[in-house]
């Protein structure tokens, strides 16, 4: 790709996933070492350490599942780079970006929550640009929260459009606007520019800690 922003975006996502996988395998290595010590000590009386060993096995299985899930989403993201325009499943795409971005969110002490919905929302769009837009919005929300908190994402399909709502939940940010990141204006301008290119209308409500994006569906 020749576009510098797109290349940088791909690099950012890949770097975040790499850190996530390094953390997974570091944890597995640490727990494996502990298990080896427990096994050596348990030769004399296995019943004493049985419960601890079982807990370690459970933790290892959890970390393995975390690693597999991350790789699965990275694979899905990589495949999206092959298409200039394709029909996407909105909830699936949001879930992919949340998982790939969770390392950055964790560093900022932010949890990203996707509201459960049985409604299937699909539309055609440039996948790499749309995913880049989602990351820009998440970064903006983290700047708004500043001191950590939760970001809740909700989706809704209207008769003629699709809504994506990002809501920030943080008591400090709600009561003290002085904690807002000074780079917020620049971030918001980037969001608006890319959103317009993709056909989205955007609205930022700093008081409610909320960003709403609306895409009009073709007839």
Residue with tokens 């499943």: 89
Task: Check: CB of residue 168 under 8 Å from CB of residue 210.
Answer: yes
Along the 219 residues of the chain, how does pLDDT read in single tens digits? 456 566 667 767 777 787 788 788 788 878 877 877 776 676 655 566 667 777 777 788 788 888 888 888 887 787 777 777 889 999 999 999 998 888 888 888 899 999 988 889 999 999 989 999 999 999 999 888 866 789 999 999 999 999 999 999 875 444 444 445 556 788 899 999 999 999 999 999 878 889 999 999 887
What CATH code is assigned to 84-216? 3.30.565.10
Locate the domains of the chain by residue range: 4-79, 84-216
| Tokens coding 84 | 């200039």
Q: Say how far apart CA 142 and CA 133 lie, in whole Å.
A: 14
CA–CA separation, 217 vs 157, rounded Å? 10
Q: Where are the beta strands (DSSP E) in the chain?
A: 86-89, 110-114, 122-125, 149-157, 161-169, 200-205, 210-216
Distance CA 177, CA 154 (A): 24
Q: What is the pLDDT of residue 202?
A: 96
Query: Sign of the C-alpha dihedral, residues 169, 102, 75, 85?
Result: positive
CB atoms within 10 A of CB 6: 14
Spatial contact of 71 and 22, defined as CB atoms under 8 Å apart: no
Pairwise CA distance, residues 97 & 132, whole Å: 9
Assessment of whether the complete model's pTM goes beyond 0.85: no
Locate 73 and state its tokens. 């989403």
């Amino acid at each position: 790709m020749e576009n510098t922003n797109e290349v940088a975006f791909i690099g950012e996502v890949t770097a975040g996933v790499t850190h996530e996988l390094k953390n997974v395998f570091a944890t597995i290595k640490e727990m494996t070492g502990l298990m080896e010590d427990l096994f050596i000590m348990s030769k004399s009386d296995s019943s004493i350490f049985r419960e601890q060993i079982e807990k370690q096995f459970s933790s290892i299985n959890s970390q393995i599942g975390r690693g597999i899930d991350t790789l699965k989403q990275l694979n899905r993201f990589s495949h999206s780079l092959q298409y200039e325009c394709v029909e996407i499943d909105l909830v699936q795409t949001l879930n992919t970006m949340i998982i790939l971005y969770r390392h950055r969110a964790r560093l900022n002490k932010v949890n990203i929550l996707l509201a459960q919905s049985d409604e299937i929302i699909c539309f055609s769009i440039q996948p790499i640009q749309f995913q880049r837009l989602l990351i820009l919005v998440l970064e903006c929300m983290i700047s708004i929260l500043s001191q950590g908190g939760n970001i809740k994402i909700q989706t809704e399909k209207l008769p003629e459009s699709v809504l994506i709502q990002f809501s920030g939940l943080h008591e400090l940010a709600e009561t003290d606007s002085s904690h807002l990141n000074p780079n917020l204006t620049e971030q918001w301008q980037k969001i608006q520019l890319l959103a317009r290119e993709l056909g989205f209308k955007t609205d930022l409500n700093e008081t409610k800690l909320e960003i709403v994006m609306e895409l009009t569906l073709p007839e």
